[in-house]
Amino acid sequence: MSSTRAEIKRHTQTRVLDAAEQIFQEEGFAGASIRGIAKSAGVSAGTVISVGDKNALLVRVFDRLIEAEHDRHAAGAIVEWETTRPGSAPRIESRFAGSSTCSGRLVALASPFVAVFIRNDDLARVYASILVSGGHSSSLFSELAARLTEEFRTAISVRGCTPRAEAAQKAGALYFAFLGLLFTASARRTADPADLSADLHRAFAAICTCKEKE
């Protein structure tokens, strides 16, 4: 495929996903239709289907929301780190202002995900049910999972609480505990981010061996 054709295809996919996101948020998942998404995107229904069925579109849209929120927080941390040099503490440290424990740092890392799930609670329930059914892949289990697990690994080892040799395995356990609570909150219609953050804090504290004081 030529670069021009590939670029056109990417542009079309973006238009479809942008339209799907708008319609999902305005009409809900049940109210959305392939035909309506096609009309909003200015493409044919067949073009929409080539990007994905309704379930696949929701997964891709929700993945984009999560990734955008995560990247926005990460970018803010990089700016802060850049503006506070020299000192050259690990970049991830700048994301933990006021977090004096491992669980506090982990909750700070999880906060973008909590914000997206709470802000889009109806869609989050459908998203979680689609992923649990196993019919569609998601970056939440691949690229984004790898990124967040690595951030968790840094958060629990950066101040010596978890030996680096053990950190990767423990970070994986923390990530799956995090996903479980996130999906459970969606099923229970938890609408208060403070409640979900408190649940995450307790779960993270139970898994971590933190030597720092609150």
Q: What is the full per-residue pLDDT of the chain (214 aa) written as tens digits?
A: 567 888 999 999 999 999 999 999 999 999 999 999 999 999 999 999 999 999 999 999 999 999 999 888 776 553 333 344 444 444 445 555 556 789 999 999 998 888 899 899 999 999 999 998 888 889 888 888 999 999 999 999 988 889 989 999 999 999 999 999 998 888 887 667 888 889 999 999 999 887 765 5
Smallest CA-to-CA distance from 18 within 56, 71, 52, 61 is with: 61
Q: What is the reported pLDDT for 159?
A: 86
Burial 166-183 (b: 16+ CB within 10 A, else e): ebeebbeebbebbbebbb
d(CA 120, CA 89): 35
State the CATH number of the domain containing residue 179.
1.10.357
Q: Which amino acid is at 51?
A: V
Pair 46, 109 in one domain:
no
Q: Is residue 198 part of a domain?
A: yes
Q: Is residue 214 part of a domain?
A: no
Give the count of domains, the chain.
Answer: 2
Q: What is the reported pLDDT for 50?
A: 96
Its pTM stands at: 0.82
Q: Is residue 213 part of a domain?
A: no
Pair 44, 64 in one domain:
no
Read off the DSSP letter of residue 139. Answer: G
State residue 50 phi and psi, 5-degree precision: -65, -25
Residue 43 domain boundaries: 1-52
Q: Is residue 6 part of a domain?
A: yes
Q: Where are the alpha helices (DSSP H) in the chain?
A: 3-31, 34-41, 45-51, 54-84, 102-119, 121-133, 143-157, 164-187, 193-207
Pair 71, 25 in one domain:
no
